[in-house]
Amino acid sequence: MTYMPHLSRRSFIIGAAAAGGGLAIGFDLPLGGPAVVRAADGAPEVNAWVVVRPDDTVVVRIARSEMGQGTLTGLAQLVAEELECDWSKVTTEYPTPGQNAARKRVWGDFSTGGSRGIRSSQDYVRKGGAAARLMLVQAAANDWKVPVAECSVSRGVITHTPSGRTTTYGKVAEAAAKLEAPRDVALKDPKDWTIAGKSLKRLDTVDKTTGKMVYGIDVKLPGMLNAAIKACPVVGGKLKSYDEASIAGAKGVKKVVKVGDDAVAVVADTWWHAKSALDALKIEWDEGENAKVSSETIDKWLAEGLDNAQPAFVGNQNGDVKAALANAARKVEAVYNYPYQNHATMEPMNATALFTGDRCEVWTGTQNGEAAFTMTVKESGLAAEQCDVHKLMLGGGFGRRGNSDFVRQAVAIAKQMPGTPVKLVWSREEDMTQGRYHPITQCKMTGAFDADNNLTALHVRISGQSILVYQRPEALIKGMDPATFAGLAPSGDAAIGYSVPNLLVEHAMRNPHLPPGFWRGVNINQNAIYLECFMDELAHATRQDPLEFRRKLMAEHPRHLAVLNAVAEKIGWSTPPAKGIYRGIAQHMGYASYVAAAVEISVSEGSKIKVHRMVAATDPGYAVNPAQIERQVAGSFVYGLSALFYGGITVKDGRVEQQNFDTYNSMRIAEMPKVESIVMPSGGFWGGVGEPTICVAAPAVLNAFFAATGKRIRSVPLKDQNVSFA
């Protein structure tokens, strides 16, 4: 990766003054042209995605953010596959959002979320690699004055087949960069992949393990100061006043600044001096009406939304549920709850900003470089060409770093310290209490059976928050939030995997004051618990095997059924488990991928769970790096099980009660079960892998707990039910 962590004062001043940063000319050329566009080291850019150095090193430009999920390596594999270069000579770098804007968004969408890093980029990055290959081969053919059809390439070496002459990408890159880019390029059939589709080592592992990798929190710039910040602990409240005299003479303090209308920051020589002074600063808040809100009032309000008499948006419907319920031979009903949860990234929110009056630059880890750039432009009050954002590695994102509130704050502080770079770092307490939380919801479900125990109707009524109302109101459909129905929708990237003669899925929208956000897996997390645990309830109520009960409803959903069957077979569902071992199963669809999980647990003392084994199946359509998929599945189970056992944000007097890891825990290595991953790409579509499998971890464990104890848990986290890891 290319970073800007340690700069001399001279190079820093020059870099801060340069409008383009890494690229000097040709901003209006989307893929290439007669003028050679050069990278910062002078190497020619063949096109926006490929820079080739004289030593044959290939630099692949990556627009998406890397936060541990492997997107950087996966996208580089896709480019290198079509480029036919030597993988051992591939490295990567980030273009900046400012460069992207100046070049008419040639790199496309910088946003990295929704498991879209590869699936939404794969087509154009592959074409970028293929186009660069054609240009490089054409340049060699032109030099040799031979037909391009007589030339071939392998591992970055171009050969003129009739004569045996060879050259390398590094030798022809300068000439290739001057050629007009081809507009129509053919892509390889995935069955012919030799770099993509393989479990290659990640490109960022060495820098991470040696400590060379630079995260946002590591940035060091000449003359840099540090800032700590406090916003009103009650969301919606305002800053009333602060007494700067209360910290007069505090060590290292340079300035106390107001940030917006709801926060105050202290700027000092070190972050610890800034935080210590901020903790001692006397602050008065106007907390407003939201200070009256508590978890109890929120729960009561959401429970009222479960009443069918209340208005609701319909997200999926077929048949006549009301009539089917009225004529049922038997009905089963249950109410489930899902809490607020924090992202709890290991690296707290941070950004470094430099405002000089006629330019503003930001260094930060962000999941959405363009959003951070837009926020920088807006808060600085400067024109877009006077601003830029330098993306750094993320120490955890999980959706939280898709927001740019911390970027806005950093720029606002820097504007009050012109000419001086200021690094803003949130304390852990600020990070916990100023989050963008997983939405809180409740769900009432009713199933109807005929006399032969066939499921004739299913009514799912969700009451709770809409993320889109807060994050992307323009995506609402006549006021409805379609994302709320993830995994329960009739079709699309998160479709329900069951066919029921009469079905009604609806959402009574109720938005408490705590801001919701996109939390890894987002709405499939609670919807999978609701649906898959209730499916177990329906099966047990009618004395049917949970697997066979599901299978009867899945004939029209072959890909859902395939992953379910895969985990059932590998866990040994058809054979009795060992004594004291109990099994649970779940399946779902999210982010265009089909996922399932089966688990084996034991329970001691009636409430202590030991998860011995988890089997996961994922069908993402295509697998760019199977080893990375397996790691993502295992990592997602860490997140999903932590949420199940420990996750839960509560509210008292309008403010978040959990302030650090002592009250918001995460599972430990000793609690982590063995994970067996089945990667089963069926082709024909591109699905995500970073988020889908999170959602099946919790319902599989909850269903196994019922099998072990006969107790059905409908509210999480388990710590609130006095259930823990053994």
Residue 55, sorted as left (phi over 0), alpha (psi -120 to 50) or beta, turns out to be alpha
Model confidence band, residue 25 (pLDDT cutoffs 50, 70, 90): very low
Asked if 131 and 138 count as a contact pair (C-beta separation under 8 A), the reply is no
Based on C-alpha coordinates, what's the Rg of the chain? Answer: 27
Model pLDDT, residue 394: 96
pLDDT at position 28 over 70: no
Task: Tell me the mean pLDDT in the region 336-345.
Answer: 98
Q: Who's near 8: CB < 8 A, 6+ residues apart?
A: 222
Q: What is the pLDDT of residues 35-74, one digit of tens each?
A: 789 988 899 999 999 999 999 999 999 999 999 999 999 9
Poorest-confidence range of 25-29, 145-149, 286-290? 25-29
pLDDT at position 33 over 80: no
Residue 72: name the closest of 47, 100, 48, 93 by CA: 93
- Which letter does DSSP use for residue 20 in this model? S
pLDDT at position 32 over 90: no
Q: Which residues pair with 282 in a beta bridge?
A: 243
Using CA atoms, how far apart are residues 192 and 180, in angstroms rounded to an integer? 27
Task: Tell me the mean pLDDT in the region 202-221.
Answer: 97
- Which letter does DSSP use for residue 482 in this model? G
Asked if 149 and 155 count as a contact pair (C-beta separation under 8 A), the reply is no
pLDDT at position 338 over 90: yes
pLDDT at position 207 over 60: yes
- Per DSSP bridges, beta strands 50-52 and 45-47 are antiparallel
Tokens of 360: 């503003």
Model pLDDT, residue 248: 96
Model pLDDT, residue 35: 73
Sign of dihedral through CA atoms 373, 376, 382, 388? negative
Using CA atoms, how far apart are residues 657 and 723, in angstroms rounded to an integer? 21
Instruction: Using CB atoms within 10 Å of the CB of residue 34, give its burial: 0 to 12 exposed, 13 to 18 middle, 19+ buried.
Output: exposed
Instruction: Tell me how many degrees the CA angle 262-265-268 measures, rounded to the nearest 5.
Output: 175
Using CA atoms, how far apart are residues 558 and 367, in angstroms rounded to an integer? 34
Asked if 516 and 439 count as a contact pair (C-beta separation under 8 A), the reply is yes
Tokens 């409240």 sit on residue: 237
Asked if 118 and 74 count as a contact pair (C-beta separation under 8 A), the reply is yes
Residue 529: name the closest of 625, 427, 460 by CA: 460
Element (H, E) at 67: none
Asked if 267 and 417 count as a contact pair (C-beta separation under 8 A), the reply is yes
Model pLDDT, residue 17: 28
Using CA atoms, how far apart are residues 264 and 262, in angstroms rounded to an integer? 7
Model pLDDT, residue 8: 36
Using CA atoms, how far apart are residues 700 and 642, in angstroms rounded to an integer? 14
Model confidence band, residue 34 (pLDDT cutoffs 50, 70, 90): low
Task: Tell me the mean pLDDT in the region 513-530.
Answer: 98
pLDDT at position 24 over 60: no
List the beta strands (DSSP E) in 165-221: 166-168
Tokens of 547: 């697997």
Model pLDDT, residue 620: 98
pLDDT at position 30 over 50: no
Q: What is the pLDDT of residues 680-720, one digit of tens each?
A: 999 999 999 999 999 999 999 999 999 999 999 999 999 99
- Per DSSP bridges, beta strands 608-619 and 651-652 are unpaired
pLDDT at position 26 over 80: no
Q: Which residues pair with 34 in a beta bridge?
A: none
pLDDT at position 10 over 60: no
CA–CA distances in Å: residue 103 to residues 95, 121, 175, 666 = 11, 18, 22, 43
pLDDT at position 325 over 50: yes
pLDDT at position 4 over 60: no
Using CA atoms, how far apart are residues 476 and 471, in angstroms rounded to an integer? 10
Tokens of 334: 């249950």
pLDDT at position 502 over 50: yes
Identity of the amino acid at 278: L
Cis peptide before 577 (omega within 30 of 0): no
Using CA atoms, how far apart are residues 545 and 550, in angstroms rounded to an integer? 9
Q: What is the pLDDT of residues 145-184, one digit of tens each?
A: 999 999 999 999 999 999 999 999 999 999 999 999 998 9
Using CA atoms, how far apart are residues 529 and 390, in angstroms rounded to an integer? 39
Sign of dihedral through CA atoms 561, 567, 571, 577? negative
Q: What is the pLDDT of residues 617-648, one digit of tens each?
A: 999 999 999 999 999 999 999 999 999 999 99
Domains of the chain, start order: 9-209 (3.30.365.10), 216-287+349-425 (3.30.365.10), 295-341+437-725 (3.30.365.10)
- Which letter does DSSP use for residue 477 in this model? B
Using CA atoms, how far apart are residues 332 and 117, in angstroms rounded to an integer? 41
pLDDT at position 19 over 60: no
Residue 422: name the closest of 355, 338, 368, 521 by CA: 355
Q: What is the pLDDT of residues 564-591, one digit of tens each?
A: 999 999 999 999 999 999 999 999 999 9
Instruction: Using CB atoms within 10 Å of the CB of residue 462, give its burial: 0 to 12 exposed, 13 to 18 middle, 19+ buried.
Output: buried
Model confidence band, residue 2 (pLDDT cutoffs 50, 70, 90): very low
